[in-house]
Amino acid sequence: MSDFEKLKNQLINKLTEAKNSKEVDLIRTEIFGKNGLINSEFKKLGSLSPDEKKNVASKINNAKQELTKLFNKKLSSLENFEIDERVKNEKDDVTLPEKDFRIGKIHPVSQVIDEISSIFSEIGFSVEEGPDIETEYYNFTALNTPENHPAKDMHDTFYLEENMKTLLRTHTSPVQVRTMLNGKPPFKIIAPGRTYRSDSDQTHTPMFHQLEGLHIDKNITMGHLKGCLNYFIKEFFELEKIKMRFRPSHFPFTEPSAEVDIGYRIENNKIIIGEGDKWLEILGCGMVHPNVLKNSKVDPNKFQGFAFGIGIDRLAMLKYGINDLRSFFESDYRWLNYYGFDPLDVPTNYRGLSK
C-alpha cells in the first residue's frame, strides 16, 4: 500500500470517529487544505513521467471524490445528530412560571357591547345580528326612507356598486326588518354591530358601532320605551338617578320619533354624567312606523312597538373618558393597555358592570 493510501485510510478512520463539526473541520483541512493530503499529492506529479502522471492524477482525483462523498455524509449525519440533541434538551416545559408575560386586553368597544347586552338581557331582550354589506332595500326602502332622502346621498353612504343596490350599512336599523321577516311577533331584540358612513373627524370615523333595539308586541307604548331607556341609561352609567329628556325629532322609520338627551356638567375638565344643566344627545328612538311593520310582514293593526338606535362608541367615550374616537381604531397597544379591560372581567349586572 502506498503512503498516500495509508494516509488516506488514516484520515477516513479519523473522519468516521469524529464526534462534532469542530473535529470534522480540522480533518477537512488535513485532507483538502492548502497543504493537505490531496494538494501535497498533486504537487508530487511534477517529478513523474507523462504516463505515470496520468495514472496517478486519476487515482488522486478518485480519492478526492471518495473523500468528498464521505465528508458530506458525515456532515449531514452530524447535523442531524446535533439537531436531535438540541431538540431533546430544548423542550418547553409548560408548567414553568412565565418569563415575559403580557396580558391581552379587551377593547372598550367590545367591553361596552358586553355591558349593554348584559343590561338588556336582564329585561328579556335577546341579541340578533345582520350583515355589514346590506342591500339598498333593507338599509333604506324597507325602513320607509323616501327615494330622495338626504341619508341616501353618495357623500354619506358607501355604495359598493354603481347601480347603488349594495352598500355598507349606514345603521343597524335594517336588522329590525330582517329579524321581523325571519320570525313571528312578539319581538324583543337588540342588535349591536359595525356601521359605515363617509365621515372622519374627532367624533366621527368611517366605521363605527351602533346598537339597535326593537320591542314589538300587542300593547307596547311610548311609556314602555321611556321606562326601558331610563333603566338602561341608569344601569349603563352605574348611577342611582339620571337626568334624561325626550326631544321631538324625525326618523323615516318611526312615528312619533324622539332623540334622548342626558344631563351633564363639566367639573375640573371632566364630564360628570347624570346631573347639571347641559344636555348631551345619546340616542334616537320612536314608535315603529306602520309602513316598516308592513314591509316586515307584521300586521300594524295587531302589533306595535318601539325601536331605538344607540351610538356605542360615543357611550364608551363618555363612560371611560376617551376624547378622540379615532384612537379606538388605531390598534395602538399602549392605548389598548391603558383603556382596555382584563379578559376575565366579564360584565354582569350582579357583580357590577365595570368594577
245 to 284: interface string for ligand DAH, x by CB under 6 A: ------x--x-----------------------------x
Cα-trace Rg, the chain? 38
With CB under 6 A as the contact rule, the residue among 174, 185, 193, 286 that binds ligand DAH is: 286
Beta pairing class for 254-267 and 126-127: unpaired
Q: Which is nearer to ligand DAH, 309 or 347 (CB)?
A: 309
Using alpha carbons, select from 328, 322, 292, 25 the residue that is nearest to residue 144. 292
Q: How far is CA 102 from the centre of its chain?
A: 17
Can you tell me whether residue 309 is helix, strand or coil?
strand
With CB under 6 A as the contact rule, the residue among 119, 307, 312, 325 that binds ligand DAH is: 307
Q: Which is nearer to ligand DAH, 185 or 286 (CB)?
A: 286
Counting contacts by CB under 6 A, is residue 197 touching ligand DAH?
no
With CB under 6 A as the contact rule, the residue among 138, 187, 308, 328 that binds ligand DAH is: 308
Footprint of ligand DAH on residues 1-60 (CB under 6 A)? none
Span from 4-12, 34-42, 61-69, 301-309 in contact with ligand DAH (CB under 6 A) = 301-309
Q: Which DSSP string corresponds to 31-50?
A: HHSTTSHHHHHHHGGGGS-H
Task: Give pairs for 239-242: CB < 8 Å, separation 24+.
Answer: 239/273, 239/274, 241/274, 242/273, 242/274
> Measured from the CB of residue 285, what is the shortest distance to ligand DAH in angstroms?
5
* Amino acid identity for residue 33 in this structure: G
Footprint of ligand DAH on residues 202-231 (CB under 6 A)? 212
Residues that bind ligand DAH (CB under 6 A): 171, 173, 212, 251, 254, 284-286, 307-309
